[in-house]
Structure 1
Amino acid sequence: MSNRIVIIGGVATGPKAASRARRRDPNAEITIIEKGNLLSYAGCGMPYFIVGDVKNCDELMCTPAGVVRNSTFFQNVKDIKAYTKTLAQAIDREKKEVKVIDLLSNEIRKILYDKLVIATGSTHFRPPIEGSELNRIYTLGHPDEAIAIQQCANLEDVKSVAVFGGGLIGMEVTEAFVRLGLEVTVVEMIDRLLPKLLDAEISAYLAKYLRSQGIKLRLSEKAIKLEGDENNNVRKVITDKSEIDADMIVTAIGVRPNVELAKNAGLKIGETGAIWVDEYLRTSDPDIYAGGDCVENTHLVTGKKVYVPLGSTANKHGRIIGDNVTGGSEKFDGVLGTTIFKILDYTVGCTGLTERYARELGYNVVTCIAPGSDVSHYYPESALILIKLVVNKDNGKILGAQMIGPGDIDKRLDVAATTMTYGGTVRELANTDLGYAPPYSSAIDMVAHAANIIRNKIDGIAKSVTPMEVKKKMDAGEDFILLDVRTPAELIKNKIDDPRVKYIPLGALRSRANELPKDKEIIAFCAVSLRGYEAQTILDGLGFTNVKFMDGGLAAWTY
């Protein structure tokens, strides 16, 4: 008798599991049940359809050869039955059957299984705000919603849009709306953008850039009421602090795992609120597997359970489940939450733990902020990137990384994530044999340079304070010297306007060190603080005992 594999969910994990299972078992009876009207679509591509980079929404459902992945495709190419507009209502674990209803005909039937896969995904959270029944209020969880958003954004009377949520999806749709010529206001309840992904310094760097592009940021604000016009179209957002004109709204404040079907079947729900699975992606029932946005994962750094819904993870889950429902024993070790996105001319990425979360967990943390060129600085197309590493000071293991800038960060982010996946240290990262040529990197790549800064700090050679700490000292009126060691030509471009700033170019520091008091704290800086660090070591050698440099220099100064 053939292996009966039933898969509930037809977007990412489900089709991937089905396709992998078919390759491993040509005789299996494989069925996909999907409540929506579309199969196997690339949801992560929807912002790029909205802005017009992807010309037709059908492209998000096509193979690389241009064939639409619909029920006919799955039947003819893969011999997989795929039922759309079909809702799985209940799972009977004793009888090993799934009760489904055809949403078009209301016909109810039961499908038997030997192995069951739950890939029910997640649902975008809609906050209960007065006026939320108005028109032109959207979430972005399905291609049909992407089409509606694109059509609305191109209406003649739509000039402004409010984006609720400063997270990943919020940033991606913000880019789309800016490029479409709309006035964009981002409303975020927390005091910074991407609060779960970025530390305050990197988030502030992003915010400074977005404001320079005309994007309005309303941080630490909460929408409490929406107002519309005579046609019931939204026109205004009332927050707890202000009023915002908005001709349309996109809500992007996070998703919730769809667990009701599993919960009603008596399957274990994890501590994060998502479905619990073991390392083989089995649920508490050994014949039922689950993956994608409906399950929790193990964090590779902490070993703790986390809910991190990402399309990349969903596809990895699908492949592993496809193996295991056809007799395999493949394990899924866990996630780092590696995330990257583009917003206008900047790329932002992160992996692992933020400094804030690492400290909350009790790690002895050391960090660095390292700005520099993504390629050799003399190469014509060089661009700035800024890297923050979060490291366990006790053993040098990398806990997290955050990167931002107009330069190429994807390679560096993936190098950091790879090092972390295998429990690597900053020494191992710094000595990794990376490819080098001037059009691609400096001789010591920026990610290795960041690792070396951390090594210097751990060894006690480099002593630093962050730009945020410097600003706090200034605001508190502390008496210290802020030593600018840049060249006179650089001072013309930009400088910190404060009476505590002392200008001594690095080349003159040894001869003019007597101008500096030895009884005050001295914080040296330059454009990126490479020279600031050199100034610290020079003054250390001259007998100064309270000298530091400002991490990241003026490149990381967001004030």
Structure 2
Amino acid sequence: MNVVIIGGVAAGPKAASRINRLCADAKVTIVEKGELLSYAGCGLPYYISGVVKESKELMTTSAGTVRDTAFFQNVKNARVLNRTEATAIDRTRKTVHVRNAAGEVQDLPYDKLILATGAESALPPIPGITLDNIFNLKDIHDADRIKAAVEPHKAINAVIVGGGLIGVEVAEAFQEMGCRLTVIEFLPHILSIMDPEMAALVEGHFEAKGVKIQTRTKVLEFKGEGRVERVVTDRGEFPADIVLVAVGVRPSARLAQEAGLVIGPTRAIAVNAQMQTSDPDIYAVGDCAEKVNMITGKPAYVPLGSTANKEGRVAANAICGMPDAFPGILGSAICKVFDFTVARTGLGEKEAREAGYDVVTCLAPAPDRPHFMPTSKPLFLKLIADRASRKLLGGQATGPGNAERRMDIVAMALTAGMTVDQLANADLCYAPPYSPAVDNLITAANILRNIMDGLMSGITPSDVLARREGGESFTLLDVRSPAEVAQMRIDGSLNIPLGALRKRLGDIDRSKPVIAFCKISLRGYEAALILKQAGFTDVKVMDGGILMWPGTLLRG
């Protein structure tokens, strides 16, 4: 059996390795347009920053063996044609037309063909984008060029256009290398995969680290004499000695489209659960292939190396006659932002509403371990659920606390189709060095249960701020201690410590709605219960407390 694989970075090599293990008689050929094979593209920002010392480390096995052409030939029994481009697929003759760097051409016959052509960087047609020192980050060679442009100078002005995962990860690298950095994002917030209140926390963290975040800003032109010197936007000009354009990627599906294969609504190659395209002898895996959202059942496109490896294995299993199916994705993603972790899985709030769910959300900031443990760190958590079915729909977390553990648990809960009630009673590991006795996730699930059961009426801090700015009259009740209020407070709020609330009910105007809060709104919830028991009819709890407040805070 002849198997030709077009693409040699992630999904392609994974498929080749699996086929070698299952079908010893298969003749596998990998065609790769670039020079390098099977490198960890997601590690490029950490190579730029110097966390990864040598680029070779991104191309080695855990035993230190470089995954080059000799490795794939001798260990994986796969022939590699690197620096060779596949230019056409003849589905009738079942051949792939290829051309190498020397201009030599040949036709490769196949019984099964795997397309692992990946994704292409989206480069907007902005005037001046061809100036020197304007980069995108696709491979190790790009990373080498970026390092060379930054390292000799230090303290240079750097601009990143695009605040997605790549832009955010490289932003930390530039900042650590001593650059004066501005991140320009067209949308209202960076990290559009996160809900606005969660993205705002990350923006605040960037600002605290000295990174300028410029949102709602459109780049109009790059200017300079041969080399970029400034970035012109609709909100002013920014000095720039180096620019990274990271405005997203698109599936590399041209070869498939020209071969007459079905392209899905996401512009990626349509596949079934076995990763077969509309031609049963051709498979598509990795960033060029369309996904299915496991919650909505609709087509989705979320290019990730982890998904690519899973899909490569599924396609190999199918080719070798082993029953397997790729169930889809949840859109799980994570990134490091200095000492913050930013993670999400499932549907965001807006996605869930657009999908037709009756959405219930909660914000639950709290320490990730008991407060008495010296390793305890803050963690901001959000859960999203459907009111009718009580099923969990998604989760997001950020902060210096352990976000990855919580989001991995949410991902498994989503995969199992769990309700918030089931999550609230999940038997998670507990010991003070690792988590609170009532884990952050279980607390958040219980908040959702209280809301769904009518025991609590919540309101997001952003909605509270919008009501204030809109001129609505209500009492914003702060039930923290005087010492806490002295450190930071919301202007115009009424402070009555929780312990004094029952004795001071007369200080609160019963004719106005009351919105109670504290640091994280646990005491705010208790205050709301006291007020309801005392006959107050319009009482809400500000989700997430003062820690999630998006407006100005008075300090001192």
Give the corresponding residue for 2:202: 206
Show CA shifts across 1:226-269 (max 9, x none): 1113xx11110000121001110001100011111111111111
Q: Find 1:244's aligned residue among 228, 232, 238.
A: 238
Cα pair 2:155 2:178 within 8 Å, conserved? no
How far did 1:158 drift?
A: 6.0
SS where residue 78 of structure 1 aligns?
Answer: coil
Tell me, in whole angstroms, the C-alpha distance in 1 between the residues paired with 2:299 and 2:73.
37
Map 1:547-558; keep pairs closer than 5 Å: 547-558=539-550
Show CA shifts across 1:200-242 (max 9, x none): 111111112211211111111111111113xx11110000121
Could you list the runs of 5+ residues in structure 1 that have no partner in the other structure? Answer: none
Give the corresponding residue for 2:145: 148
Tell me, in whole angstroms, the C-alpha distance in 2 between the residues paired with 1:153 and 1:325.
46
Map 1:236-315; keep pairs closer than 5 Å: 236-315=230-309
Letter in 1 for 2:277: T
Query: Quick check: 1:508 aligned with 2:500?
Result: yes
How far did 1:393 drift?
A: 0.8
Give the corresponding residue for 2:453: 459
Letter in 2 for 1:135: D
Letter in 1 for 2:235: K
Q: Find 2:63's aligned residue among 57, 60, 65.
A: 65
Q: Find 1:4's aligned residue among 2, 17, 20.
A: 2
Query: Quick check: 1:87 aligned with 2:85?
Result: yes
Aligned positions, number: 551
Cα pair 2:368 2:377 within 8 Å, conserved? yes
Show CA shifts across 1:33-72 (max 9, x none): 0000000000000000000000000110100011110000
Change (3 A) 1:351 1:173: same
Tell me, in whole angstroms, the C-alpha distance in 1 between the residues paired with 2:301 and 2:495.
49
Q: Find 1:403's aligned residue among 389, 397, 400.
A: 397
Letter in 2 for 1:200: P
Show CA shifts across 1:504-524 (max 9, x none): 110111111122122110001
Query: Quick check: 1:371 aligned with 2:365?
Result: yes
Letter in 1 for 2:199: S
Tell me, in whole angstroms, the C-alpha distance in 1 between the residues paired with 2:90 and 2:416.
40
Give the corresponding residue for 1:43: 41
TM-score, normalised to structure 2's length?
A: 0.98
Q: Find 1:328's aligned residue among 298, 322, 329.
A: 322
Give the corresponding residue for 1:533: 525
Tell me, in whole angstroms, the C-alpha distance in 2 between the residues paired with 1:280 and 1:76.
28
Query: Quick check: 1:345 aligned with 2:343?
Result: no
Map 1:72-111; keep pairs closer than 5 Å: 72-103=70-101, 105-111=102-108
Give the corresponding residue for 2:54: 56
SS where residue 161 of structure 1 aligns?
Answer: strand
Q: Find 2:444's aligned residue among 440, 450, 458.
A: 450
Tell me, in whole angstroms, the C-alpha distance in 2 between the residues paired with 1:429 and 1:246.
48
Q: Find 2:126's aligned residue among 119, 126, 129.
A: 129
How far did 1:157 drift?
A: 6.8
Q: Find 1:362's aligned residue among 348, 352, 356.
A: 356
Aligned-pair identity in percent equals: 48
Cα pair 1:91 1:261 within 8 Å, conserved? yes
Tell me, in whole angstroms, the C-alpha distance in 1 between the residues paired with 2:113 and 2:11.
13
Stretch deviating more after TM superposition (293-302 or 200-209): 200-209
How far did 1:5 drift?
A: 0.9
SS where residue 538 of structure 1 aligns?
Answer: helix
Tell me, in whole angstroms, the C-alpha distance in 1 between the residues paired with 2:308 and 2:181.
31
Tell me, in whole angstroms, the C-alpha distance in 2 between the residues paired with 1:137 and 1:324.
42
Cα pair 1:485 1:503 within 8 Å, conserved? yes
Tell me, in whole angstroms, the C-alpha distance in 2 between the residues paired with 1:469 and 1:133.
43
Cα pair 1:340 1:410 within 8 Å, conserved? yes
Query: Quick check: 1:193 aligned with 2:190?
Result: yes
TM-score, normalised to structure 1's length?
A: 0.97
Cα pair 2:154 2:177 within 8 Å, conserved? no
Cα pair 1:157 1:247 within 8 Å, conserved? no
Query: Quick check: 1:518 aligned with 2:500?
Result: no
Show CA shifts across 1:85-130 (max 9, x none): 0111111111111111112x21111111111100000110111111
Cα pair 2:154 2:179 within 8 Å, conserved? no
Stretch deviating more after TM superposition (357-366 or 156-165): 156-165
Tell me, in whole angstroms, the C-alpha distance in 2 between the residues paired with 1:172 and 1:47.
6
Tell me, in whole angstroms, the C-alpha distance in 1 between the residues paired with 2:408 and 2:191.
20
How far did 1:555 drift?
A: 1.0
Letter in 1 for 2:230: K
Q: Which runs of 4+ in 1 moved over 2 A?
A: none
Letter in 2 for 1:69: R
Letter in 2 for 1:20: R
Tell me, in whole angstroms, the C-alpha distance in 1 between the residues paired with 2:515 and 2:204.
24
Tell me, in whole angstroms, the C-alpha distance in 1 between the residues paired with 2:153 and 2:473.
57
